[in-house]
A and B are shown apart, each in its own frame.
Chain A
Amino acid sequence: MRVSVVGGGPSGLYLAILLRKAGHDVSVTERNAPDATFGWGVVFSEETLGALRDADYATYLEITDSFARWTSIDIRYRGQVLRSSGHTFSAIRRTHLLAILQERCRELGVSLEFGTEVSTAQPADLVVAADGSNSTLRRSADFGTSSTPQGCKYVWFGTDLVLDAFTFVFKDTEHGLFQVHAYPFDEHTSTWIVETTEATWRRAGLDRMSEEDSMAFCQALFAEELGTHRLMSNKSVWLDFPLVRNETWHHGNLVLIGDAAHTAHFSIGSGTKLAMEDAIALANAFVRHPSDVESALVDYELERQPVVERFQQAAGDSAAYFGRVGSYLGLAPIQFAANLLTRSGRISHANLTQRDPRFTRVLDAWFAANASGAPLVPGAVAPPPMFAPLRVNGATLRNRVVRSTSDLAEAARAGAGLVLTGFVAVAEDGRVSPATPLLDDSWAAVVKDVHDAGALAGVRLGHAGRRGGTRADGGVDVPLRDGWPLLSASPLPYTPSSAVPAEMSEVDLTRVRSDFTSAAERARDAGFDAVELDLADGHLLASFLSPLTNRRSDEYGGEPLRFPLSVVDAVRAVWPGLLAARLTVTDLARGGTTVEQGIAYARALADHGVDLIHVRAGHTTPNSRPEYRRGHLTTLSDRVRNEAGVPTMVGGYLTTPDEVNTVVAAGRADLCLFEPAPTPLEQL
């Protein structure tokens, strides 16, 4: 097979080596000179090395021989250095990696041509676009390409400061926060990437600075960390990281690999690894389908796309983390570190315990001490964070696990710290269906059972609003034939088949407010420890908060919080205990409440005496678009907790203790709604 590879980066050269070894006739065309390259060093992980060893032992040896290796991550934050160990990193100078690959190509008889810019593919049996994220070749066919800026502004420097750990530096300035991702890659040099949000970058005037001035700015900014060492430029200018995706990676005999096919934000350091693994997968596909280009390319895509998708998901989470890391500066150093290390979802509390048991011992001990208001004692041990008590407004939960099931006493016996009822209506016309419970006298006995089992009991008080009057089973939001009159902020039906609610009059507002307060009084009489006010999921109070459902022209339209806050105030006046609010932080629908607005709502609720926000999203309208991946509400909870400064509770299908430990240890929520799947193991 005649193969024409365009682009002499890691993916193109490595593929050339592997295909040449399999006996194909391979040429590589690169626009730059052999030793010209941007950037400095690149990091590899342990699994990648295994794959490289199996694919081509000769280059594996040379690559690993020139590696800088280390096992620690240093986090420089608030004038301290936190070190986490037990990780495995290795890095290599990019030019050196390319030199090794070029030499091996020559040795194997790959034809290499430098200094030639390719604009259209040369005829060959297989044409490989390995020409990077801004691929020219990709434009010659429809791959369903998207390329959008992701994360912060960044600049890639080198420095003669030789680090002995992967180093993050967080530097707060008058303009805003700057952070550094730095790591060694040979005996003399380290990579030093500086990153900041676009807003901070502009405030600092970096948008108007020359290359030299901006390097001088960074040199001065990190004078403390760099000491006598200097930053070095290699066409080091401020850039946006392009997130590249392609729906399909091949078209006829033209195939995309490496950055031309996909990118993953540099903050998870995986681009080179993914590029070289692509090359391995593509070469192997031709072993399976020696005489069938189409089948080989389909195989390659089927193998690589799911892997790359997972990395892109993690990289997206990581990039977003660095975009908002300025809001975490209030976290204690050890928790800040835990949050940073678990940012992409690839490392959990359990993984961290395996890699660095000392770090998690201290983290757990700090968490427990902090939860009980005691000082951290050296050498202290404590159970994992999910078992730390939580004290809010005079109430003490024995742990961070919340269960909401139909059998509250059983949930309490299952070990939860807090058990929550489902929706309990404050009035007959506030029921979801005829089966929705009211706050009658029957609850006291249930609450007693819960207390006997050691848990606290909470009741969710709500008025279903325009989602009321529905059937009790077989689905949600299916209207009853003979329902009852519904109320909402504005007369808009929930679904096209739902009944049209009446726009609440002043009389209705007063009546519903007193329904809430008298329900709260009955909750107190029943012995409940917590009241959760329902301002979520498109129910009555929530209908005031969203522009999609509140079209009023009176003051309740002009001030969406006015009525809900008046209810909070009235309830707070009669309910001394733990008061939570279940809040739709964003509608996940066009024209709806944004995350920023939702966070402002959370802040306002806290100002009015709400102790805890239960973070929800979507369902304001029936066609909202939640993502529903595991833990899909966690980031939102993290933002509410850290940006509004309010304790939070979060669900979103958290099914394992490890997820709960990770969420609470990292300060993304204070309580987790735990929803384990049923398992036959418990029936043995």
Chain B
Amino acid sequence: MSWVKVGVGLPNTIPGISGEVLVEWARRAEGGPFSTLGVLDRLVYDSIEPFAALSAAAAVTSRIGLATNIAIGPLRSPALLAKQALSVDALSDGRFTLGLGVGARRDDYAAAGVNHKARGATLSQQLAFLRGQLDESGIGPRRAPVRVLVGGSSGAALTRMARYSDGYAHGGGPPKAFGSAANRARAAWRDLERPGEPVLWGQGYFAFGDPDRGSVYLRDYYAFTGPFAEKIAAGNLTSARAVRDFVRGYEAEGCDELILYPTVASLDDLDRLAEAVS
């Protein structure tokens, strides 16, 4: 067992978030016990675009890692996605990790004018571009290769992860669910004969001051999943003890980095999380 690093999410998908709170959030996280600031991605929602949010965070931080976890790759063209990733990486002096997935919402695809049915193949092509053609594309700024993680739970998604990325970004759930997904990710890694081990990231949600508001947000954010929204809301971590148990559980399952996302954009909650995990 190795120590899990704990990161915190920026509240970029909480409706009505102000630039001021977002930036202050990044500043405080930088001063806290957190390894990374993560962001989520939704198009048809009152949320801040993930690369924009991370750029704002990059401007007021110098230590903490920055990560999309995940960004919905296919909504962007491969070249534009690469440009955004390289830009955040340059602005943050190499602190960026690009987590990619296909997302789960059709309306995002419809709004972007992208074929939802081909999403898996599209993501694979983007990854192939990031790992290959990008080098000769003239797209910059060029630095060391950006670290890439891939999410998803199907056999096809895990194959894509092992083929093109540095590791796996799990979509959330109890530690046991993470553990079994992590084993599948490791098995895929071996099956494609990648050397070493995949990096394994997990995620969770928290709210301390006003948990009910957090749950209302989660139900709304995940309304498109139908009955699953309730289950996700039930997983919201609402006490320091719950957070610590969760972190320990993830650590025991071999998680390398666990990002905890706020469900209420409360700086007070951020301070309490810092206390809980330090």
Interface residues of A (CB under 8 A from B): 247-248, 250-251, 294-295, 298-299, 301-302, 306, 406, 422-423, 471, 474-479, 481, 495-497, 588, 618-619, 622-630, 632, 651-653, 675, 677-678, 680
Contacts and interface: CB of A to CB of B under 8 A. Distances in A.
Contact of A294 (B165, B183, B230): B230
Contact of A651 (B127, B190, B192, B228): B190
A111 B141 CA distance: 74
A625 B195 CA distance: 21
The size class of the interface chain B forms with chain A is: 35 or more
A549 B145 CA distance: 33
A250 B231 CA distance: 12
Contact of A251 (B125, B156, B227, B234): B227
Q: Is the interface of A mostly helix, strand, loop or mixed?
A: loop
A584 to B, nearest CB: 12
B156 A623 contact: yes
B200 to A, nearest CB: 12
17 contacts: A302-B174, A306-B174, A406-B195, A471-B132, A476-B162, A476-B194, A477-B163, A495-B125, A495-B128, A497-B133, A619-B191, A623-B120, A623-B156, A627-B184, A628-B158, A628-B191, A677-B254
B132 A628 contact: no
A-B pairs, top 8 by smallest CB distance, nearest first, are A653-B187, A625-B155, A248-B227, A628-B187, A628-B184, A478-B132, A497-B128, A298-B230
B278 interface: no
Contacts of A477: 128, 163
Contacts of B231: 298, 301-302
Contacts of B192: 476, 619
Nearest to A623: B156
A478 B159 CA distance: 14
Q: Is the interface of B mostly helix, strand, loop or mixed?
A: helix
A248 B227 CA distance: 7
Contacts of B156: 623-625
Contacts of B155: 588, 618, 624-628
B165 A475 contact: yes
A649 to B, nearest CB: 15
A479 B234 contact: no
Contact of A630 (B136, B159, B176, B183): B183
Nearest to B162: A476
Nearest to B129: A497
A250 B228 CA distance: 11
A622 B124 contact: yes
A294 B233 CA distance: 12
B183 A622 contact: no
A162 B159 CA distance: 52
Contacts of B174: 302, 306
B183 A250 contact: no
Nearest to A681: B1
A471 B183 contact: no
A478 B158 CA distance: 17
A622 B163 contact: yes
B131 interface: yes
Nearest to B195: A406
A478 B131 CA distance: 7
A295 B234 contact: yes
Given A302-B231, A474-B131, A496-B121, 6 more contacts: A306-B176, A495-B124, A622-B124, A625-B155, A627-B184, A652-B191
Contact of B163 (A302, A476, A628, A652): A476
A302 B164 contact: no
Interface in B164-205: 164-165, 174, 176-177, 180, 183-188, 190-195, 197
A585 to B, nearest CB: 14
Contacts of B184: 627-629
A84 B45 CA distance: 61
Contacts of B228: 248
A655 to B, nearest CB: 9
A615 to B, nearest CB: 12
A307 to B, nearest CB: 10
A496 B124 CA distance: 9
B190 A622 contact: no
B50 to A, nearest CB: 23
B187 A652 contact: yes
Contact of A475 (B154, B164, B197): B164
A479 B132 contact: yes
Nearest to A630: B183
Interface string B231-264: 1011100000000000000000010000000000
A481 B159 contact: no
A478 B235 CA distance: 39
B56 to A, nearest CB: 29
Given A248-B227, A481-B136, A625 B154 contact: yes
Contacts of B127: 475
A299 B234 CA distance: 8
A267 B145 CA distance: 53
Contacts of B124: 495, 622-623
A623 B185 CA distance: 16
Contacts of A479: 132
A365 B165 CA distance: 46
B1 A680 contact: yes
Contacts of B183: 629-630, 653
A652 B197 CA distance: 15
Contacts of B188: 626, 628
A2 to B, nearest CB: 22
B131 A471 contact: yes
Contacts of A675: 190
B187 A630 contact: yes
Contacts of A653: 183, 186-187, 190-191
Contacts of A619: 159, 191-192
Contacts of A495: 124-125, 128
Nearest to A496: B125
A306 B2 CA distance: 26
A91 to B, nearest CB: 31
A464 B75 CA distance: 34
Q: Which of A301, A622, A623, A628 has the most CB of B within 10 A?
A: A628
Contact of B2 (A628, A629, A680): A680
B145 A474 contact: yes
Contact of A478 (B128, B227, B230): B128
A423 B162 CA distance: 18
Nearest to B230: A298
Nearest to B2: A680
Contacts of A624: 155-156, 159
Contacts of B1: 680
Contacts of B158: 626, 628
A279 to B, nearest CB: 20
Contacts of B159: 618-619, 622-626
Given A298-B231, A495-B124, A626-B155, A677 B186 contact: yes
Contacts of B132: 471, 478-479, 481, 497
Contacts of A496: 121, 125, 128
Contacts of A475: 127, 131, 163-165
Contacts of A248: 226-228
Contacts of A476: 162-164, 192-194
Q: Which of A250, A294, A495 has the most CB of B within 10 A?
A: A495
Interface string B45-82: 00000000000000000000000000000000000000
Interface in B128-150: 128-129, 131-133, 135-136, 145
B177 A306 contact: yes
Nearest to B233: A298
B187 A678 contact: no
A41 to B, nearest CB: 34
A272 B57 CA distance: 55
Contacts of A251: 227
B229 to A, nearest CB: 10
A251 B121 CA distance: 34
A618 B155 CA distance: 10
